Amino acid sequence: MSQPLLQLTGIVKEFPGVRALDGVDLVVRAGEVHCLLGQNGAGKSTLIKVLAGAYTPDEGEIVMDGDAVTFGDPQAALAAGIATIYQELDLVDGLSVADNIFLGHEKTRLGFSRVGDSHRAARDLLTSLGHPEIRPSRETGSLSAAGKQIVSMARALSRQARVIVMDEPSAVLDPDEVDGLFRVIEELRASGQAIIYISHRLEEIRRIGDRLTVLKDGRTVASDLPAGETPTAELITLMTGRDVSAEFPRRTTPLPDADPLLVVEGLGREGEFEDVSFEVRPGEILGFAGLVGAGRSEIVETVYGARRAQRGSVTVDGRRLRPGSVDVAVGAGLGLCPEERKSQGLVLDEAVYRNISLGTLPRFSRLGVTRESAERTAAHAAARSVDLRPDDPDRVTRTLSGGNQQKVVLARWLLRSCRVLLLDEPTRGVDVGARSEIYGLIRRLADDGVAVIVVSSDIDEVLGLSDRVMVVADGRIVHAGPADDLDAHAVLDRILSGNEPTGNEPTGNEPTGNESKGDAA
């Protein structure tokens, strides 16, 4: 084993009433991808901020290249050679690529910016990362999510970083972009940089990682595990403290023989999607698979009324909805858990109970005055039904983990008693333990007669949860049929080939015959 490049020993960080880190140990070597695993709330985010210099540990030691170091601020961490790429990228969209790369350490002479030097240096960095097509003068906000990731990496390299921390770097990337990200990581590893890679996606960990460290409740519970060989069941047990072997809950009852609750016919929006038709019955889970940008989110947002359909119709229980009206859709029984729950689904600085009751406030109002006691009681009951943790309806929503924030959104629609639930990326940024709980909630809703639509970039998630699957490519439905008839390879083939359905393929409206659906591939 080579000498550790970075070593953390007994790191402790306390906040009022919370011991976020309780003696964390971490050893990272040059030229390796070291994966950090743990549920939301395990301490990963706090540890990242300690490494980035945003937090100073209360106890413990950080050693870099054999020397003890102390980071009083982020600049000190950068000067020591540690750069962090956060999940929510800290780029300035209105600045150029070059300006973002050298933000905070601009190339100047006698106090004046040297634009030409910045552009040449930025071009060299982008070329070294395999992306010479990204122009240094381009406005950063016009780049794709993958392009922004590359700019963040170039910024890290511009600081001569020897340790690069990547927090959920693939969360918003499609499979091709993830492949590109991994090629860059492999090149960085080959050149001697150390990568600390944080992800909830175990398949990524196995593919790109060398060694693993697992955190639970602010402590290191396992270290030096081989990324490619440690059994999934062992990792899940380490992270959660319990066995979560049956990740996708089984359908235990046959699909009800009922008329469709939701009928979508010929739906279209110029430049986004065209001629989309499908039906969903009570108790059925319909999955939408496809790449980021294929039109999946736009379809469900249009069904919900957040976007105005230019063509086609949406009908709920025989009632045709007015296009572009969320109020009408919600009144008809639709609910949406949006892709970006923090910015689109939650008021983060409000209490949990208020976020849950947002869709039902008129129920608790009399003569324009909210009966707060009744509101709290109902919201608390909904929170308990989704096993929200901690069980504190007054807690500020921002302080919850990603999985529990998603449970707040689900609890809102449970309280509303919605009949059609649209879920866009329901487990993005959610750890494996909370993910299993959310899957159970979704299945329970379906068993109670709710018609559910699940949109996900995770093909295994779509197949594991759904009774039927619609494959979307370039704004078109290219396949529809029972989930049991597909595996991940078949779905990916349809996504990438964009083949139109043949006359012999199902339209997506036939009974599935899925009497006892089990786990999918």
Evaluate if residue 122 carries a pLDDT over 70. Answer: yes
The pLDDT score that the predictor gives to residue 175 is 75
Q: What is the pLDDT of residues 279-297, one digit of tens each?
A: 999 999 999 998 877 899 9
Confidence of residue 513 (pLDDT cuts 50, 70, 90): very low
Distance separating alpha carbons of residues 107 and 115, to the nearest angstrom? 8
Residue with tokens 């709290």: 376
Distance separating alpha carbons of residues 221 and 70, to the nearest angstrom? 25
Dihedral sign, CA of 236, 242, 246, 249? negative
Are 351 and 357 spatial neighbours (Cβ–Cβ below 8 Å)? no
Residue of 380, 429, 376 lying closest to 402 (CA atoms): 429
pTM above threshold 0.75: no
Evaluate if residue 315 carries a pLDDT over 80. Answer: yes
Confidence of residue 510 (pLDDT cuts 50, 70, 90): very low
Confidence of residue 41 (pLDDT cuts 50, 70, 90): confident
DSSP assigned state of 300: H
Q: What is the pLDDT of residues 68-78, one digit of tens each?
A: 999 989 999 99
Residue of 457, 506, 446, 513 lying closest to 484 (CA atoms): 513
Are 494 and 479 spatial neighbours (Cβ–Cβ below 8 Å)? yes
Structure tokens at 520: 């999918």
Are 23 and 10 spatial neighbours (Cβ–Cβ below 8 Å)? yes
Quick one: which H or E segment has residue 379?
helix 372-385
Q: DSSP characters for 116-150?
A: HHHHHHHHHHHHHTT-TTS-TTSBGGGS-HHHHHH
What's the order of all strands across the beta sheet hosting 18-29? Answer: 18-29, 4-15, 59-64, 67-69
Bridge partners (DSSP) listed for residue 111 = none
Q: Residue range 193-210: average pLDDT?
A: 90
Q: Residue range 386-403: average pLDDT?
A: 88
Distance separating alpha carbons of residues 504 and 485, to the nearest angstrom? 14
Mean pLDDT, the chain, integer? 87
> Between the CA of residue 10 and those of 23, 25, 80, 106, what are the distances in Å?
4, 6, 20, 36
Distance separating alpha carbons of residues 406 and 421, to the nearest angstrom? 14
Residue with tokens 């403290």: 241
Quick one: which H or E segment has residue 216?
strand 211-216
Amino acid occupying residue 488: A
Query: Crossing angle, helix 402-416 and helix 372-385, to 10 degrees?
Result: 120
